[in-house]
Amino acid sequence: MPLNKIESLIRLCLLVVVALSCSRLTSIAGGPEREARGLINSSQEDLAAVRKMDSDLNSKMTRIPSLYLSKNTNEINSLLDDSNKLVEHEVELLKRAAEKLDKASQLKVGDKMKEYLALKKGAAQKRIEGYTEAGKMFKVLRDSVNGNNAAKRKAQAASQELNSQVRKTFEEAGELEHKAAELARQNPGLVDKET
């Protein structure tokens, strides 16, 4: 056999060995599934931060109705401004979490992982929708604080309607999160931890 052919054959064998080694290393490192889990874990941190802020937001929101018809417009305005800032920050965190979940869903992962990611991303998007509606509610209330009692009552009625929409949206998000948690429970090892 000529020397060129032997060298070519050796090079080809080396390429095959290198290719097999690389695919084996990717498999050992976890590949796309591991990367997806990392993105899920990172999104879980964002979602946990949102849950912490929710308790502060809830305490502010429960104070709004009792203060709304009072004459203390400075306190009402301050409370509405603080609530709106919290909502804006929560929306940022939720968008960041949804982006991470979307990036993970673009990876080559199994069907169960894709289903889990779709549920978690859908829940985050529903929460974004809910907080956007809450922001509208704060604006309606804020715009009417200095109005007469009739304007305040009208704004309060509008905010109650928005509030029921927000609650419905959050219930839908909760259902999606429950389905994701159930899927993770039924498929141990699907995710590192479900929160």
CATH architecture of 32-186: Up-down Bundle (1.20)
pLDDT exceeds 70 at position 25? no
pLDDT at residue 55 in the model:
84
Place of tokens 């992982």: 113
Residue 173 and residue 123 in contact, taking contact as beta carbons nearer than 8 Å: yes
Cα dihedral 166/169/171/172 (nearest 10): 180
Q: How far apart are CA 23 and CA 19, in angstroms?
A: 6
pLDDT exceeds 80 at position 65? no
pLDDT exceeds 80 at position 26? no
pLDDT exceeds 90 at position 3? no
For the chain, what percentages of helix, strand and coil (3-state, to nearest 5) are there? 85, 0, 15
Nearest CA-CA partner of 117 in 28, 33, 45: 33
Q: How far apart are CA 115 and CA 190, in angstroms?
A: 11
Residue 121 and residue 102 in contact, taking contact as beta carbons nearer than 8 Å: yes
Q: What is the pTM of this model?
A: 0.76
pLDDT exceeds 50 at position 27? no
pLDDT exceeds 60 at position 122? yes
Q: Where are the domains of the chain?
A: 32-186
Secondary structure, 3-state, 86-139? HHHHHHHHHHHHHHHHHHHHCCCCCHHHHHHHHHHHHHHHHHHHHHHHHHHHHH
Residue 135 and residue 87 in contact, taking contact as beta carbons nearer than 8 Å: yes
